[in-house]
Each structure stands twice: as structure tokens, then as C-alpha cells.
């Protein structure tokens, strides 16, 4: 781990193992790292125009840290993680929307609960089972963001769900299935 990432993990260690995790303290610590442009500028430069994640610390098990970028107008599909999540922008504006199922019977139909335009020095937290969301860049809303995403574990080892807001369909993501990166990719089946 690079020095700034190690410092973050040392700082959040007691908050990450608490029951429940202290996501506010973790969020404040992640914002502190997001302000370290001396460290992050080089990482951002490497992914400048690439839409995707860059793993800053991605062990098979345990807390993971990613630097993520989606290009102009790219939003993730609505999805859940099955682990706690903290997201903090480094540069740009990240749209973050939370959803909930319209009914316990039809979980494919989602309703918007909250929408935020996240800027540097802000953060958002998610805790299962209230972790259905999408995020990325909406055209006309500033520059696409580079965001730090801290995950409480490896989401790809868990069964998760992905939703297609346009069609009202959902699908189960089995362990190992990374799902779609952007909403412009049709949902299978």
C-alpha cells in the first residue's frame, strides 16, 4: 500500500470493525485522502479519459479502495453492493441517487428516494440493506468526477442485484459477476 492509503487504513481500522461500522468517521477520513492531490493527481492522470475503476487497494477479502471515473453522461446501473460503502469525490461532480423498492412484492420496480450532486470535500455512505443506488455523471452537470470508493469487503464474492430503471427489470448478479459498468449496456435476458 502507498503511504497515503496505508494512513487511511490505519485511521479507519477501529471504525471499520465496529458494529455497526462508524461510516461517518470513515467518510471524514476518506475526504481527507480525497484532498491529497499530491498523491491522487498522478493516479488521475493515468486514467484521465478512461471510464472505469483503478484499484488503490483491492485484497481478495477485506476493505477495498478504488479510484473511479465515468465519462461525460455515463451513469452506473442501479445496484446494491451487499457491503458498506463510502464514496468521496476528488474532482468534478458525481451524481448519486438512492432508491428503494416500490413494494416488498415487486422489488424490480424502484422509486427515487434521494439525489445528490456530490462535490469534493463531501461524501456519501451506504449500509445494506439500504444500499440501492446509482452514480456517475449526468450531462450538463459540471465535469465528470473522479471519486474514491471505499468498500467494506469484496462485493464480487456476494450475490447482488442490478436494476434497469428504463425497463423496470432487475437481475441477480451471482458471485463473480461484475455486472454492467454503464446504463447504456442492455440488461441481459
Q: Are strands 160-164 and 169-173 parallel, antiparallel or unpaired?
A: antiparallel
Furthest-apart CA pair in the chain: how many Å? Answer: 49
Report pLDDT for 189. 43
Comparing CA positions, the residue from 39, 38, 14 lying closest to residue 26 is 14
Cα 138 from Cα 133, distance rounded (Å)? 15
Cα 152 from Cα 62, distance rounded (Å)? 6
Mind listing the pLDDT tens digit of every residue in the chain (189 residues)? Answer: 789 999 999 999 999 999 999 999 999 999 999 999 999 999 999 988 889 999 999 999 999 999 999 999 999 999 999 999 999 999 999 999 999 998 877 777 899 999 999 999 999 999 999 999 999 999 999 999 999 999 999 999 999 999 999 888 899 999 999 998 888 765 554
Cα 28 from Cα 92, distance rounded (Å)? 18
Report pLDDT for 187. 58
Q: What is the 3-state secondary structure (H, E, C) of the chain?
A: CCHHHHHHHHHHHHHHCCCCCCHHHHHHHHHHHHCCHHHHHHHHHHHCCCCEEEEEECCCCCCEEEEEECCCCCECCEECCCCCEEEEEEECEEEEEEEEECCCCCCCCEEEEEEEEECCCCCEEEECCECCEEEECCCCCCCECEEEEEECCCHHHCCEEEEECCCCEEEEECCCCCCCCCCCCCCCC
Cα 69 from Cα 48, distance rounded (Å)? 8
For the chain, which domains are there? 3-165 (2.60.120.10)
Cα 26 from Cα 131, distance rounded (Å)? 17
pTM of the entire structure?
Answer: 0.93
- Residues near 111 by beta carbon (within 8 Å), at least 6 away in sequence: 99, 100, 101, 102
Amino acid at each position: 500500500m502507498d503511504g497515503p492509503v496505508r494512513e487511511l487504513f490505519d485511521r479507519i481500522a477501529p471504525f471499520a470493525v465496529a458494529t455497526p461500522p462508524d461510516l461517518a468517521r470513515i467518510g471524514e477520513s476518506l475526504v481527507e485522502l480525497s484532498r491529497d492531490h499530491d498523491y491522487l493527481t498522478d493516479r488521475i492522470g493515468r486514467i484521465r479519459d478512461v471510464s472505469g475503476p483503478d484499484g488503490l487497494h483491492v485484497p481478495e477479502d477485506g476493505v477495498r479502495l478504488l479510484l473511479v471515473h465515468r465519462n461525460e453522461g455515463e451513469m452506473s446501473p442501479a445496484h446494491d453492493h451487499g457491503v458498506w460503502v463510502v464514496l468521496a469525490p476528488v474532482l468534478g461532480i458525481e451524481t448519486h441517487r438512492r432508491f428503494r423498492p416500490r413494494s416488498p412484492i415487486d422489488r424490480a420496480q424502484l422509486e427515487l428516494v434521494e439525489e445528490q450532486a456530490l462535490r469534493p470535500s463531501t461524501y456519501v455512505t451506504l449500509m445494506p440493506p439500504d444500499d440501492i443506488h446509482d452514480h456517475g455523471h449526468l450531462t450538463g452537470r459540471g465535469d465528470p468526477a473522479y471519486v474514491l470508493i471505499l468498500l467494506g469487503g469484496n462485493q464480487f464474492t456476494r450475490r447482488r442485484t442490478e436494476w434497469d430503471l428504463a425497463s423496470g427489470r432487475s437481475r441477480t448478479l451471482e458471485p463473480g459477476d461484475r455486472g454492467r459498468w454503464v446504463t447504456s449496456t442492455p440488461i441481459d435476458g
